Structure 1
Amino acid sequence: MSLISRATAPAAGHDVAELVRGLLSAGAAASPHPPSAAKASRGPRLPSAPTGLGTSAARIGLGPGASRDLSARTGSAAVPVNAPSLPLPSPSPPSPSRATAHPSAPVLPPGPTGQGTSAARLSTAVRPRTESAPADPHRELHCPPAVRDDPALGETVTERLVEWAEEIGIYPGQLDKIRKADFGRLIMLAHPESDDPDRLLAAAKCALSEWAVDDHYVDGEVERARHDLLGQRLAIAHSVIDQAHLPLSYAPRLEEVVRADPVMRALRDSLDNLAGYATTTQVRRLRHELAIMFVAYNQEGVWHTAGQRPPVWEFLMHRHENSFVPCMVLVDAVAGYEVPMAEFSDPRVRRAFTMAGSASVIVNDLYSMGKEDPTDFSLPRLIAVEDECSLEEAVDRTVEIHNELMHTFEAEAAVLAAAGSPELRRFLAGTWAWLGGSREWHAGSARYHSAADAV
């Protein structure tokens, strides 16, 4: 079940839907900034210190292997781990200068250790199978609030996105679904460092073209899904995101196929448009994430054609590859700066960032539960089958997994930000803000009973 179908699915009125509605609404409106605070001049910030499960990662001292410090690997100096907060600069590009080095800067180990590291063992992260462990109705998603809410800006982006979709040809006859889903609001909430509708629209175009691949090719929301041809279609689409260069006598044939396919046209146009706001490296980053997402779509195609129900561990691996990461990777591009590639590609940064991406898409899985689609592959439903528990308990276990990912990201991001460059610090705080904006969008877009009940 794709993002757009989840956002526009019919209302559901069962107990699980009510439970999920409570999860999404709890704390979602607790932003420290009132809705009228449209500007984000202060920028998002990580918490001053990590909290809850996994916080031992923030207390890792500098051992003999000081050369393993992130700053030593990236050429940037470190800052103290006990910095009082992580405020971000204004949306203007950051200064190339670095903070003063600190002799006791923290260092992350090459692998997870200590409390909270069970994120590396997610398949066993939930409590053991029992018939007597009831769902916890008071459990909440661990997620920050949205930094800002500017409904007018979100509406502007949505309307311009609908116009673009009509021009490109994706979602023919279904443009009202895009408008109803209000993707402009999602982008506005998730990128609080920019109030430029053009930059936000560039991110929205990329996101919608990514979701169009799912809706047109995989889920059959727009056209009949041909899972037997999925690999072929994705391979040709990949030739757009990583431009294939054929001999002159054959190149026109590929171009003809690409121009005849609205999804491929959308991918090409959105990436070309993004290049006007992002660096070559940032666009290349997104192309790489799209390639990973295509691999995950092929995996889903196998599930459909072979009639497989993936085990929970495999689905969680799938969520690592098929998440909101392609959207989140544009955090710095939309804000108008660039995190150094050496830091962005560091395995420890990659680990924290992709865990945040997995957590974000688990929120979407919970959201789909409220829309009641029993045939969908979602984490709660797979847990319910594999662990032989109720849907209510499966939701509870899903929240446990989400919260473990979030606490681990929070702890490790705090350490990485303290040891890294100002740009990395800003990027990780922007990722934290992205998660809060996404959760706020899911809460506001969910209509489990009626429009009047929407949170």
Structure 2
Amino acid sequence: MSPGPAGPDKRARKPGHPPHPTKEPWMPNPELFPVQSSLPAAASHLGAYILADAAARVRDVKAATDGPPLVPSSPAPPSVDVPAAEVRTPAPDLQRILRGPSGLGTASLRLARREEPLPTPTEGNPIPGLYHHPVPEPDPVRVEEVSLKIKAWALDEVDLYPDDWEDQFDGFSVGRYMVVCHPDAPTVDHLMLATRLMVAENAVDDCYCEDHGGSPVGLGERLLLAHTALDPLHTTKEYQRQWAESLHSDAPRRAYRSAMEYFLQEASPSQADRFRHDMARLHMGYLAEAAWAQQDHVPEVWEYLAMRQFNNFRPCPTITDTVGGYELPADLHAPPAMQRVIALAGNATTIVNDLYSYTKELASPGRHLNLPVVIAEREAISDREAYLKAVEVHNDLMRDFEAEAAALAAACPVPSVQRFLRGVAAWVDGNHYWHQTNTYRYSLPDFW
């Protein structure tokens, strides 16, 4: 579904700390091919899915009504002085997405909502000027239960980390992270699907890429073998056994294998394949960053942003329907309009990680690429100017995400589409909440 003490924060989702250490095909000129909206096409499929969606509605209703409340529509003021224009009530179209479907027969599909004001978070300050939506504090009972379960899994099932890493694992607060990002999960077991995958991915990042014995040298081989724990090898019986044994050879592969086995118990084949695809994207992003590290190269800003579209949090919101106990059909997940919404959500949430982890990465050994660092070097401006410009890049991505999500919801008012868009929006807001309030890991630069 990006954040260890040194460099893992630049990567796609960075949860639950450490594990056991152990081009040139022809392409058309994009300027010659103007982007065409897929929204009319998406809307034309509406009738075909109404009946199919009705069949799934019983399950949707149960998941929607049994789960905890989603984000309210009236956020409280931020806890520090932030320009008023930047902490906003969602625009009317986005409020409608968060509210859920309307019209005859859809009332029961809306998620329960809180009417009381949002509490002010007790920890951390939001980045001044960062466009975000405050969210309610996550359910402490769920947070505690998920935290206990994930630690038991990490220690007893996959032997993920040694004793001296325990404080880092606890400080990551992965239980709080997942509960706040998936407010419509019908059960703790559903939340655990996302939590195990998050911790496993963080283990791969830390142990293979950086913090805990990682290196760019030989990374491709390590990632490919780990990926087979998600996308299994199909070979002859003689070699199948050797491959199966290899999945227990180190902590990252043990974690991937186990987390994926749990995920497959709930996910449909389409949802599982979607997740594997996004994990392949993630691993490709890891390799691009590793290549730059080996060459001691600082990419252009646009090149860095291209890498971050792959090395980012995208695998997390893409499984929001599985964690919610329902399915967005493949033909509604695949259209370009939905893919753009998911990509923008992943890009915005990943730049949040770049911004909140900035001071931690500066204090760690070596040079860690993040958006402010790349902007400062490539555009020859001060660290402060670069950081503030990175905030604006994030804000532009957030506004584009919200506008595209609202347009898609209007063009394709299928209940599962509406609910999926609300789930992605909740993940975006929850991701910011976790970064803001995780004072164990993050502190802000003195730029204001």
Which TM-score applies when normalising by structure 1?
A: 0.70
Quick one: distance in 1 between partners of 2:376 and 2:396? 19
Question: What is the deviation of 1:316?
Answer: 0.4
Aligned match of 1:385: 377
Match of 1:365 among 336, 344, 354: 354
Aligned match of 1:3: 3
Match of 1:408 among 400, 408, 412: 400
Q: How big is the alpha-carbon RMSD for the aligned residues of Structure 1 and Structure 2?
A: 3.0
Question: What is the deviation of 1:197?
Answer: 1.7
Aligned match of 1:338: 327
Structure 1 residues 349 and 147, CA, compared in 2 at 3 Å: closer, same or farther?
farther
Aligned match of 2:229: 240
Secondary structure of the corresponding residue to residue 217 of structure 2:
helix
- Give matches, 1:184-333, under 5 Å: 184-194=175-185, 196-219=187-210, 221-222=211-212, 224-333=213-322
Q: For residues 259-310 of structure 1, give each alpha carbon's deviation from its aligned partner in whole angstroms, at most 9, with x where no partner exists.
A: 2122111111101101223222212211111111111111122122222222
Gaps of 5+ in 1: 10-62, 99-136, 451-455
Structure 1 residues 195 and 386, CA, compared in 2 at 3 Å: closer, same or farther?
same
Question: What is the deviation of 1:171?
Answer: 2.7
Match of 1:425 among 403, 411, 418: 418
Assess if the C-alpha contact under 8 Å between 1:8 and 1:177 holds in 2.
Answer: no
Quick one: distance in 1 between partners of 2:376 and 2:283? 27
Q: For residues 30-70 of structure 1, give each alpha carbon's deviation from its aligned partner in whole angstroms, at most 9, with x where no partner exists.
A: xxxxxxxxxxxxxxxxxxxxxxxxxxxxxxxxx9x999341
Does residue 85 (structure 1) correspond to residue 96 (structure 2)? The answer is yes
- Give matches, 1:71-110, under 5 Å: 71-73=43-45, 75-76=48-49, 85-88=96-99
Question: Identity across aligned pairs (percent)?
Answer: 33
Quick one: distance in 2 between partners of 1:320 and 1:449? 23
Q: For residues 166-213 of structure 1, give each alpha carbon's deviation from its aligned partner in whole angstroms, at most 9, with x where no partner exists.
A: 121223231321111101101000001125221111210011111111
Aligned match of 1:438: 431
Question: What is the deviation of 1:225?
Answer: 2.1
Q: For residues 81-126 of structure 1, give each alpha carbon's deviation from its aligned partner in whole angstroms, at most 9, with x where no partner exists.
A: 9797235569xxx98x99xxxxxxxxxxxxxxxxxxxxxxxxxxxx
Q: How many residues align?
A: 348
Quick one: distance in 1 between partners of 2:94 and 2:173? 38
The one-letter amino acid paired with 1:430 is G
Assess if the C-alpha contact under 8 Å between 1:147 and 1:433 holds in 2.
Answer: no
The one-letter amino acid paired with 1:212 is A
Single out whichever of 316-325 and 365-374 deviates more from structure 2.
Answer: 365-374
Assess if the C-alpha contact under 8 Å between 2:181 and 2:427 holds in 1.
Answer: yes
Does residue 70 (structure 1) correspond to residue 62 (structure 2)? The answer is no
Structure 1 residues 378 and 349, CA, compared in 2 at 3 Å: closer, same or farther?
same
The one-letter amino acid paired with 1:72 is S
Question: What is the deviation of 1:258?
Answer: 2.0
Question: What is the deviation of 1:371?
Answer: 2.1
Say which structure, 1 or 2, has more relative contact order (CA 8 Å, 6+ apart): 1
The one-letter amino acid paired with 2:382 is S
Question: What is the deviation of 1:446?
Answer: 2.6
Aligned match of 1:46: none
Quick one: distance in 1 between partners of 2:268 and 2:350? 27
Structure 1 residues 449 and 190, CA, compared in 2 at 3 Å: closer, same or farther?
closer
Gaps of 5+ in 2: 10-35, 51-91, 110-125, 444-448
